[in-house]
Amino acid sequence: MIRLDSVGIELGETTVLDGVSLSVEDGQFLALVGPNGAGKTTLLRTCNGLLGPSRGTVTVDGRDVSELSAREIGRLVATVPQETSLAFDFEVSEVVAMGRTPHRSRFSTASEADRAAVESALDRTDTAQFADRSVSALSGGERQRVVFARALAQETPVLLLDEPTASLDINHQVRTLSLARDLAAEGKTVVAAIHDLDLAARFCDSVALLSDGEILASGRPEEVLDAERLETAFGVRSAVGTNPITGTPTVTPLSDAPPGDRHVHVLGGGQRAARTIGRLVDAGIEVTAGVLPEGDAAAATARSVASDLVTAPPFGPVPDDRIRAASSLAERADATVITAPLTDANATVATASARLLALDGVETPNGRADVVTEAELTAAAEATSPTHSPTKRS
């Protein structure tokens, strides 16, 4: 269990952490997220005693870290650092065995418990296969797993991970975080600084969002990962949706093109419409969409990034008020893009538009639309003269 009580840290003139209070219980897996320089690594370094707080206290298992010896901390907290210098010829098993250092006296030889801990650590991190290879012969990702194994061999109640997945392939990203989650389920307190918000949301029980040395929010991933808060922390617009496979929040950062004064309405559903909406929003163009059947792929995208969306129940006639709502959006838009063959309802909406664009390959009503490719679309939309004052994004 870790408890930080209004911890402040100055490095030189800079305040790196400012009044951070946080508590992580046994069996909890907390993700620290936040932009570069937010203080994630610093926070981890106060938990393992590498940095002493200028203000406040850090306790691990009820003991003040600043009053513990290195050896006592080594038995309580294991750390997987972001970078580690393994540029020499030790064998993997020897490096993992170094994790036993805080448990061994100066002259003792390895005990049965030491050997068992090393073996289990090698096993669980999937590194046993190269246990007798030299660490200098390993790839960056393999080394990171070796350092994880070393931390496991330490057999501590608290485990700190600083970017544990940074140089791992997708298979080992998932394996490593699953292992961290399992370790938490076994009762360890696990804290990980993670850049990948989707992975953090998927594997951690809770997320703490750090920005400028302060905790903006902490709690369950779906409570903390909110587009507005993420924009405050990271300074980038993003769309928060739900991963259709894991059911956990997924965050898509959008390019920081400033929101322009163009407005495009998108007609038609499916993957192509979804992609079109994404592209337009990415270019800083305001997007509205509809009428779309509920549950359509484009509807999900539009719900997270479009400024307005009109939907109707699928497999039935579209109610008139829905068509009118969509028509008024199309009317206000500088242009309307047709991304799929028009339904009757959408054909009505299209008539309300001042300018029609159609993606290549899509049949258009009366040849009234200019045909563009997906790649040309944003340029074409920008070239449209603004006819209406745009509705400001909130």
Partner 1 sequence: MVLRRALAWSAGLALLFVTVVLVSATLGYADITPLSVAYVVLNAVAVPTVDTSGVTWVHPFEFVVPATTTTIVREIRLPRIVLGGIVGFALALAGTVMQGFFRNPMADPSIIGVSTGAAVGAVAYIVFGAALTSAVGGILPQIVAGWGLPAFAFVGAVVTAFGVYLIASEGGRTPVATLLLAGVAIQTFLGAVISYMLLHAGDGLEGAVHWLMGHLQYSSWWRVRVALPVVAVFFVLLLAYARDLNVLLLGEDDARTLGIEVERTKRVLLAASSIVTAAAVAVSGVIGFVGLIVPHAMRLVVGPDHRILLPTSALAGAVFLVATDTVARMGPAEMPVGIITAALGAPFFLYLLTKREVHAL
Q: Does position 364 bind partner 1 by CB under 8 A?
A: no
Is 394 an interacting residue with respect to partner 1 (CB under 8 A)?
no
- Closer to partner 1 at the Cβ: 94 or 196? 94
Asked whether position 50 contacts partner 1 by CB under 8 A, the answer is yes
Binding window for partner 1 (CB under 8 A); candidates: 104-112, 124-132, 169-177, 273-281: 104-112
**First CA to last CA distance, the chain:** 41
**Site membership for partner 1, residue 49 (CB under 8 A):** yes
d(CA 357, CA 106): 77
The residues with which 239 forms a beta bridge, in sequence order, are 252
Specify whether the CB–CB gap between 17 and 213 falls below 8 A. Answer: yes
Q: Is 379 helix (H, G, I), strand (E, B) or coil?
A: helix
The residue behind tokens 């965050």 is: 251
Indicate which single residue of 21, 136, 139, 178 sits in contact with partner 1 (rule: CB under 8 A): 136
| Shortest distance (Å) from residue 167 CB to partner 1 | 17
Q: Closest by alpha carbon to 208, among 196, 188, 191? A: 191
Return the structure tokens found at 132.
Answer: 């007798």
Residue range at the interface with partner 1 (CB under 8 A); choices 84-92, 170-178, 274-282, 365-373 = 84-92
Instruction: Decide if residue 292 touches partner 1 (CB under 8 A).
Output: no
| Helices 140-153 & 112-124 angle (0-180, nearest 10) | 140
166 touches partner 1 (CB under 8 A) = no
Nearest to 146 by CA among 171, 168, 178: 168
Work out whether 284 is an interface residue with partner 1 (CB under 8 A).
no
Distance CA 211, CA 112 (A): 45
Least Cβ distance, residue 303 to partner 1 (angstroms): 45
Q: Does 55 bind partner 1 (CB under 8 A)?
A: no
Q: Does 118 bind partner 1 (CB under 8 A)?
A: no
Residues that bind partner 1 (CB under 8 A): 48-50, 69-75, 77-79, 81, 84-90, 94-95, 98-99, 101-102, 104, 106-107, 109, 136, 150, 154
